[in-house]
Amino acid sequence: MQIAIRRWLLLFVTIGSLILGACSTPPVASLNASDRSTGATTTQANNPQGSNLPKLEGKATVVLKVKGAPITIEVDGTNAPITAGNFVDLVQRGVYNGTMFHRVVRQPQPFVVQGGDPQGKDPKVPADSLGTGSFIDPDTSQVRYIPLEIKPKDGEEPLYSETFDKAGISKPPVLKHTRGAVAMARSSAPDSASAQFYFALADLSFLDGNYAVFGYVTEGMDIVDKIQIRDRIDSAEVIQGGENLKK
């Protein structure tokens, strides 16, 4: 029992270091990542439906290749249209190609593999310097942030810009942090997600209602289990459902 308690305490410290340590500068994106800007919340916070953001109306299938091995993700735009739409749009733009996985936490318990920082394309940027990058929309020259979007079980619409705790929601989300879940990383600001995402290496129910899951690994979880810090995404491709993306 004492060993189990020590392991969970270590896990708590690990989570805290991810959330707090990465946010020593003003926020943006990470289970946590931080950003050098001072306002992660933008007009999306006032317009939580994100009318100016890509949306995925339905589902799509994305294949990431890491060291030549495929990881297949079913992206769920039915229950997370903005979050899923943002991810599929970034895949189609080639944003993730060549980016590095900069955070891998497997001890004391399996936790997450995190990547997607656009700065990770640059081989000169070390992994320990990543976690602060976001997607800059070339059309606006501004960082694209998306609102926190989590749909409660039996809910008709997702909750935007609030965690379940803050909104007083006791029901679980439709998209849970089970092993193989793919979710958006963010800072302490709820509307600070941009490009960084993570794979859940185990069932992480304590993250439910706080971070936005938008899909699940359907094939290649054994590849995810082998990812190490500094491994790169060779390519990311939408192989099905791309027509469901509405810009």
48 pLDDT above the threshold of 60: no
pLDDT of residue 128: 83
pLDDT of residue 23: 33
Output the CA torsion 199→58→157→18 (10° steps): 10
23's CB contacts (< 8 A; 6+ apart) are: 30, 32, 34, 187, 188
pLDDT, tens digit, 9 for 90 and up, residues 168-177:
999 999 999 9
Q: Which residue has the higher pLDDT, 209 or 43?
A: 209
Cα separation of 133 and 140, whole Å? 17
The residue extents of the domains of the chain are 2-246
Name the percent of the chain lying above pLDDT 90: 74
CATH 2.40.100.10 fits 2-246, yes or no: yes
Cβ atoms of 75 and 197 closer than 8 Å: no
41 pLDDT above the threshold of 80: no
27 pLDDT above the threshold of 50: no
Reduced to 3 states (helix: H, G, I; strand: E, B; else coil), residue 148 is coil
